[in-house]
Amino acid sequence: MSLPKSNSASSLLPSIQSGSPSGLLSGPSDTDYRRQRLQRIGSCSTPIAQNQPDDETTALRALPSGTSYGTLPIVHPRRASTKSDLWIARRRPTLPGLPLTQSVTVSVPDSPSAFSPTFIRDTLRSRISQQRPISAYDAQLVNSTADTADTDIDVRTNGLRVWYSSFSSIDWLHDAIKDSVRFARLRRGKSIRSRLRLAFDKSLGWIIVTIVGFLTAIVAFLVVRAEQWLFDVKQGYCKTVWWHARDFCCPLPDEYGSLDGHCSAWRTCESGGEEGAVQYLMYTVIAVLLASTSTLLTIYLTASTSFVTRKESGVLSPGFDKNGEQNASNSSQPKRGVIYYVRASFVIHGYLGGRVLFTKALGLALSVGSGLSLGKEGPFVHIASCIGNIVSRVHSKYENNEAKRREILSAACAAGVAVAFGAPIGGTLFSLEEVSYFFPPKVISFYCAFFCAMIAAVTLRFLNPFGTGKVVLFQVTYDKDWHAYELIFFLLLGVLGGVYGAYFSKLNYRWSRDVRGGTWLKAHPIAEVILVTLATTVLCFLNPYARMGGTELVYNLFSECRTGSKNSHFNLCVLDPGDFDHVWPVVRAILVAMIVKGFLTIITFGIKLPAGIFIPTLGVGACAGRIVGIAVQWLQYHYPDSTVFAVCEGDMDCVVPGLYAMVGAAAALSGVTRTTVSLAVIVFELTDTLTYAVPVMLSVLVAKTVADALEPKGIYDLVIELSQLPYLDAKHEYLWSNLSINEVTDRDVDVIRIDRHNTVESLRDQLQSLLNAEHDDGGFPILRPSRDGDGVRMVGYIGASELEHALTVVAEAATEEVRFHTTYTHEELATSYSSWVEEPRQGEHDPFDFSVYMDQAPLMIQSNSPLELLHQFFVKLGARYVIVTDTDGDYEGVIDKKTWLAFLSELEEKS
């Protein structure tokens, strides 16, 4: 059986249909349809009637062997060619083969009645799940104009890519080459229209980040207003305007602060004559209801198996099943997920989509409003990234280039931090310090991030979410300067913050691994949320500081006690700081709140609802700092003539406890998240001054140093490790000792030999063997015999996704030979490319020539090279795979990114 050869360039151009692939560069077809076509290769039965369901699935469920898509490959020790016992090799488990050559019958039901329930249900389902047409990633690079051959040689050399599937690694080199070719074509035009298109292309990034910043501020405003009302409704409601939160119902006339007095317009259960038990019951019921609703939205709306996408490979894998169990919810992942998504260079379809955005925003308001020990500031980064991902789809420049899209995501992360803390500069630095895979080579990327953060902060300032003219609730100012003797106490706070950060990370990791993941709670996430909410209401209701919202508590702890002010900030301003009887009750209440908040944050962080860790950590650190500040203030009152306090010159308001709270909060957050520069700048922007730069910088650096000494990994790194997600940490340093590249080279990978007869069926069998070995992110080296006949030389490399798509196109011709060819000189390559782009116009294109997908210039390294050089290939160049050759240039093996990550994981365990 042979396929008809096309007679037009349309055989290479993307199709607008999502069903049967119409050419080598057509858009991704339905995953079920691809699976059926590939399984029927070699079958003698009649062709399959296309009966595609309207919904499609991802391939993210666990495989029978226990390794799910995206996790690190299992390391199988084997005897290496060297004396070292460390070996990472690709093993093919003996899995039962699929009935590839058996007949597959697909029944097509009769058309239902126009008004039958079945017809109505199927119609609605089709409308909801209908997808817009998408093309192959590199389809736009196919240009049939002959004069582009000389400048587009890189397209032919580097090969064409169809799409990325979930948890496949990004090929940064390929995407950089593709964008370079695209931009070169735009610059070639000399007409006015071409120049306008070039100008639009240069300004497109600025337009997108402007929209992202504006929309991020709007969503943040809605979340803040909703969270305020939901949090206060547990204790009462406004009698004048029921949808107003308490601070909007009864604002303070002199200075902003939480109401610690009676407000006639705010009605509580006590004001109606009810007992305190009734108020507690209502508080608990509403809190459980809000938290349960949030977790139900998260689990049932954003389960990873529920996302509809055609950009999935591995359809021949035994674990690919539409009826898979629900996996972890995408919107329950806090800011650590965004850092992983952008920096780890892996694709996760659906993680930053519209459904996750809706669930994240609504669920965040519900979860924070329930009073759980979590914050909304961290998830703002996820929300902003969702907006950036959605907006970037408007143009193929970013939609079809994952590397370029991450420039927008980095800028969106900066906007998320800007709306969370009112710190556009800190957000920009956070984007560079924590989110970006590497510092952008172009300064314009840095400017875009700063511009996006500025737009978000300015827009939120005009929206005025708190009614105070401030972007965040706990933005404070101090009119006192710090003194040299206070550096000792700031150093102490840094040590305390580092100790807390290290042990918080350890305890949360063990709780998540042994309790949440090792008991019955693993299968009952809703029950866990309800139990945690009940524990929170029991422990927090009786303590006024623990019962406060996170931002309200931090604001009051940061606040300065001004002489003559009517706002005592819930009695945090001690009337007589020198009297122990006045000091101890306040210190005891703050200490209890700190212990309760710290414990609840350990068991809350990681549950199945939108949650952040910034505000709870700031609250714990601020409590510790406030206690230290009150203690220093008490010492000054008792020893005013001491040499230490001589610089105060008799000023009894010399010590500002709120300043200590701010320093303690920064130290605790640095100890938990291990951020330094961006965190310090965020604190500077919160206080609107650089006066306290030295205390904050000192505490942050000391906290990170102490935390790194006690626990090398921060909370985000530990959670990524617990989830076994493939993540290459560019900041980590490894000790290679006497290991060599031979220890990690995969010599068992299946290859394609061009000197042998390769048919559609044989390549399909090789593809299934690769997927059965759980290497859906891999590919096949294409080899030819060397001229001396003693070895094999590299011809090219073809990815699994590209081979799967190409085989789907020619599935009807199982016995036809598939060809791969290449040229060896630049002149011959130019001629070959010119012929290739002109072939459709001259008459026909061979669908069995898969050379269009072959990377003819893969990144190669000699086997005697140091491991550090190979590591830099993956870290600095962003390589997806590296071919290993011997000193004579003969092929030895391949190392892909996931194999390298597994090697590093075992190396770290051994060290």
pLDDT digits (tens, 9 = 90+) for 124-136: 444 444 455 555 6
- Give the residue from 755, 754, 745, 743 showing the smallest Cα distance to 885: 745
- Of 321-335, 644-658, 778-792, 878-892, the range with the lowest mean pLDDT is 321-335
Instruction: Kindly state the tokens that stand for 483.
Output: 């003194």
Confidence of residue 215 (pLDDT cuts 50, 70, 90): very high
Which residue would you say has higher pLDDT here, 353 or 319? Answer: 353
Report DSSP letters for 244-276, one per residue: S-HHHHS--SSS-----S--TTEEETGGGT--H
The pLDDT score that the predictor gives to residue 188 is: 84
- Dump pLDDT digits (tens) for 451-461: 999 999 999 98
The pLDDT score that the predictor gives to residue 316 is: 64
- Dump pLDDT digits (tens) for 383-428: 999 999 999 988 888 888 888 888 898 899 999 999 988 889 999 9
- Give the residue from 345, 163, 342, 319 showing the smallest Cα distance to 799: 163
For residues 38-60, average pLDDT: 48
Confidence of residue 301 (pLDDT cuts 50, 70, 90): confident
What sections of 688-759 are H helices per DSSP?
Answer: 693-710, 715-723
Confidence of residue 309 (pLDDT cuts 50, 70, 90): low
Say if residues 315 and 700 touch (Cβ distance below 8 Å).
Answer: no
Nearest-angstrom CA–CA distance, 58 and 780: 23
907-911 contacts at long range (C-beta below 8 A, 24 or more positions apart): 907/86, 907/734, 907/739, 908/734, 910/86, 911/734, 911/735
Say if residues 166 and 129 touch (Cβ distance below 8 Å).
Answer: no
Place of tokens 């007589």: 576
- Give the residue from 807, 759, 751 showing the smallest Cα distance to 780: 751
Radius of gyration of the chain (CA): 31
Place of tokens 């422990």: 539
Say if residues 863 and 885 touch (Cβ distance below 8 Å).
Answer: yes
Nearest-angstrom CA–CA distance, 557 and 258: 11
- Dump pLDDT digits (tens) for 623-681: 999 999 999 988 888 888 888 888 887 777 788 888 999 999 999 999 999 989 999 99
Which residue would you say has higher pLDDT here, 278 or 148? Answer: 278
Question: Counting Cβ atoms within 10 Å, is residue 568 exposed (0-12), middle (13-18) or buried (19+)?
Answer: middle
Q: Which secondary-structure segment (H or E) carries 637?
A: helix 614-638
Say if residues 697 and 678 touch (Cβ distance below 8 Å).
Answer: no
- Give the residue from 710, 611, 629 showing the smallest Cα distance to 665: 629
Nearest-angstrom CA–CA distance, 416 and 457: 9
Nearest-angstrom CA–CA distance, 874 and 331: 29
pTM above 0.85, yes or no: no
Percent of the chain residues topping a pLDDT of 90: 26
547 secondary structure, DSSP code:
T
The widest CA-to-CA distance across the chain, in whole angstroms, is 101
The Cβ-side half-sphere exposure at 385, using a 13 Å CA radius, reads: 31
- Give the angle subtended at the CA of 13 by the CAs of 11 and 18, to the nearest 5°: 95
> With 50 as the cut, is the pLDDT of residue 446 above it?
yes
> With 50 as the cut, is the pLDDT of residue 15 above it?
no
Instruction: Kindly state the tokens that stand for 161.
Output: 């890519």
Average pLDDT, the chain: 77
Say if residues 891 and 791 touch (Cβ distance below 8 Å).
Answer: yes
The pLDDT score that the predictor gives to residue 207 is: 93
Question: 3-state SS of the chain: helix, strand, coil percent to 5?
Answer: 50, 5, 45
Backbone angles phi, psi at 899, to 5 degrees: -65, -40
Say if residues 487 and 698 touch (Cβ distance below 8 Å).
Answer: yes
Nearest-angstrom CA–CA distance, 894 and 858: 11
In what side-by-side order are the strands of the sheet with 792-799?
752-753, 779-785, 792-799
Nearest-angstrom CA–CA distance, 893 and 747: 5
Report DSSP letters for 764-776, one per residue: HHHHHHHHHTT-T
| Length in residues, the chain | 911
> With 90 as the cut, is the pLDDT of residue 112 above it?
no
> With 70 as the cut, is the pLDDT of residue 899 above it?
yes
> With 60 as the cut, is the pLDDT of residue 893 above it?
yes
The Cβ-side half-sphere exposure at 767, using a 13 Å CA radius, reads: 28
